[in-house]
Amino acid sequence: MSDVPEAHDAPDRSPDQARAVSRRAMLGMTGAGLALGLGAGLGGAALTRTRSAGGAESAQVYPFTGVHQAGIDTPAQDRLHMAAFDVVATSRDDLVDLLRRWTYAASRMTAGLPAAESGTTGGSYHAPPEDTGEAADLPAAGLTITFGFGPSLFTAADGTDRFGLASRQPALLTDLPHFPADALIDAKCGGDLVVQACADDPQVAVHAIRNLARIGFGTVSVRWSQLGYGRTSSTSTSQSTPRNLFGFKDGTANLKAESPALLEKHVWVDAQDDPGATWLAGGSYLVARRINMTIETWDRQALSEQETVIGRTKDSGAPLSGGEEFTDPDFARVGRDGVPLIAVDSHVALTHPDQNDGNQMLRRGYNFTYGSDGLGRLYAGLFFLAYVRNPATQYIPMQNRIARDDLLSEYLKHTGSGIWAVPPGVSPGSVLDPETGAYIGESLFA
């Protein structure tokens, strides 16, 4: 399959957007080729969680400050805009200044406010606005903005200690290995910094990345960006299990926010995990994989074949060993022919915690579709996102196994990959100011 084109060449056009197509014409741009400008305003933002009088989900506001960054165990929103950045500045002070200005702008945008106090029209008439304006009439839409640091931020490919951070690089923060059958495109992998914006309105998510890229002009450049729609997992028991583009329920066994003990065990980094990187305590590791799906080949398979490959029924999502969606799979149960009802090389069998030493991960993936190629095939797939406490035990062994043995791999092509250390959140009550305020990752630079 040909490579999926740049996100800004392929507008996201889901049915949900039909209600406001004219208002969302800007979605043809994703931020990879944004009009950039410098600027950060002054003032504060209301960071409390609120709802509109009618309880509309689009009015949801999640606090920006907290022990952990929002956008990890936050109930997964419906839309994603993610961008990876390369730092082009060479000064540590410039990097810190960017993180401080990004933190301030993010705190405002997640509260439903413009990226700067002057907004779209409150600044000089003879200077670029400090907010691009396409979200000016929209509510916060549950926006969360999550930041991560890649291995290359600490140590360059040639071993250079770019910003005096090499001694504080977490031991687990190393580039993911090349897994079997990977078809990675370098321009779609890695990045010094990553920003994940999730919201229930696509224009709100795009606005967030667009303005952070604008603020970062001269300090960072966009390496790649990704639009996503239709979450492919649930991170709260209040959410139903969604379906991926193969039509199956996805993420049934995903970790949930309502299980804090499991999150402590599998997601949040502890200060004792790495004595050389205690600054990451309360944070996590983010793994991203861009997975193209061979939709047409899948669509020509019999239902029996599809269910065998997945290991679950297509209608209810129940395991083939019986029961309902949330019934634990019984991998030992066999049919009359003595063959296991759940194939040993099915996706469920190879990814279930019971088959992976009890390891679990918190998934936040999204579907993507970018139209069709010259042969009429869909540019579509899954943008896989997972948060883990230890990628060396929770992700890498499992991915090696499924890439080699999973029946589903026949219908997948991995084209993008990345890993980032996601620092803890900014402490509640901190002063957020673009010049001198607290900022994401401050403990790393202390």
Structure confidence by residue, pLDDT tens digits, 40-66: 332 333 333 333 333 345 789 999 999
Mean pLDDT to the nearest integer, 368-395: 95
- DSSP letter assigned to residue 325: T
pLDDT of residue 33: 36
Under 8 Å CB-to-CB from 270, ≥6 apart: which residues?
264, 281, 389
Kindly report the average pLDDT of the chain as a whole number: 89
Q: What are 246's two structure tokens? A: 């193969």
CB 302 within 8 A of CB 310: no
pLDDT in tens, 267-283: 999 999 999 999 999 99
pLDDT of residue 280: 98
Which of helix, strand or coil describes residue 366? strand
- Integer Cα distance of 347 and 412 in angstroms: 12
Q: How many helices (H) and strands (E) does the chain have?
A: 10, 9
CB-count burial class (<10 Å; 0-12, 13-18, 19+) for 177 = exposed
Q: Does pTM surpass 0.95?
A: no
Question: 36: pLDDT confidence band, cut at 50, 70 and 90?
Answer: very low
Is residue 32 scored above 90 in pLDDT? no
Cβ atoms < 10 Å from Cβ of 354 = 11
Q: Which amino acid is at 340?
A: P
Enclosing H/E stretch for 309:
helix 303-310
- Integer Cα distance of 57 and 38 in angstroms: 32
Question: 374: pLDDT confidence band, cut at 50, 70 and 90?
Answer: confident
Is residue 90 scored above 70 in pLDDT? yes
- DSSP letter assigned to residue 279: G
Q: Which amino acid is at 133?
A: G
Q: What are 349's two structure tokens? A: 């069998």
Is residue 13 scored above 60 in pLDDT? no
CB 46 within 8 A of CB 122: no
pLDDT of residue 57: 53
Q: What backbone torsions phi and psi does residue 217 show, to the nearest 5 degrees?
A: -55, 130
**105/19: higher pLDDT:** 105
Cα torsion 397, 398, 403, 404: sign:
positive
